[in-house]
Amino acid sequence: GPGILTRTLLNAGVRVVAVESNLAFLPSLQSLENSLDGQLKVIYGDFFRLDPLVTGKVKPPALCSDELFETMGVAALPWREDVPVKVFGILPQRKERNTLWRLLFALYECSSIYKYGRVELNVFISEKEYKVLTAKPGEVRAYQALSVLWQVGCEIQLLHMEPWSSFITNLKNGALAIPKSVCLPNDHLCLVRLTPRQNLFTGGLKPTNSSTFVFMVKQCFAKPTSRLADRLNSWSLGNGGKLLSEQEIPESAETRNLYPEDYRRLFEALQKSNMFTGTWFHDEVLESIRNIN
């Protein structure tokens, strides 16, 4: 964009690496870089096209996270250490939901940017997606698998709400080209801070089995009004009712009734019981990951 976030950060005195995908904006950014004595570094690339699943050399503006972090001079930190990098940007609206899913898989697998630690995202997202990310049981239209997985994985903080009119200059039939939303409010772009939780990979949840957790939640929300006990039994586990009883979850509970922390607790109980071992579940997980990527 026109560099509003970049200039705001520079005025705050922080060191900034600007990743710019539009060649039209590069000359002015590079001119600014040359005048700031090292405070700004400009890279041609698209942050939201990091680590594409391709063979061979990545073609710009796509980027490899390893090359990006090496250029920035940022070393990897252990997960429980402080935040190594803070990212500011605006999610591309055309692929907003897909981008949120890709970031989510990278978070749980500690891949891409999350190989370097608990990278903090400060991103503008549509109001409707913010409502989904923060939804709770009872919010029927908003509470989804994406809600559970982002809330388990990150602390979510709303920093600012800005009307669409501040961002959109293209007019269509005399009206602002705002993405449509029937079920949820969508009058603003929301600046949201997503900070990975320090305790994410404690207990039974690990980067090595987190894809199974993601798939489990996705499967539960495929039919959100179904009974959780029926869903567990459909996975050939046989004793879903007993497992729920041990977790003090009512056997009549629907999949959309559980809070995010309940899903994590249930998954860790399943891991301890080894119920997923040797089942068809793992093949389904791998196929799901391939489809999303």
Sequence ranges of the binding site: 1, 20, 46
98 secondary structure, DSSP code: H
Annotated binding site for S-adenosyl-L-methionine: 1, 20, 46
CA distances from 241 to 6, 24, 246, 247 (A): 53, 60, 9, 10
Single-letter amino acid code for the residue at 175: A
What whole-number distance in Å separates Cα of residue 164 and Cα of residue 168?
Answer: 6
Q: Which of 36, 46, 44 is nearest to 14 (CA)?
A: 36
Taking a C-beta distance cutoff of 8 angstroms, is the pair 191, 87 a contact?
Answer: no
Taking a C-beta distance cutoff of 8 angstroms, is the pair 265, 247 a contact?
Answer: yes
DSSP 154-172: EEEEEEEEEEGGGT---EE
Burial of 31 (0-12, 13-18, 19+ CB in 10 A): exposed
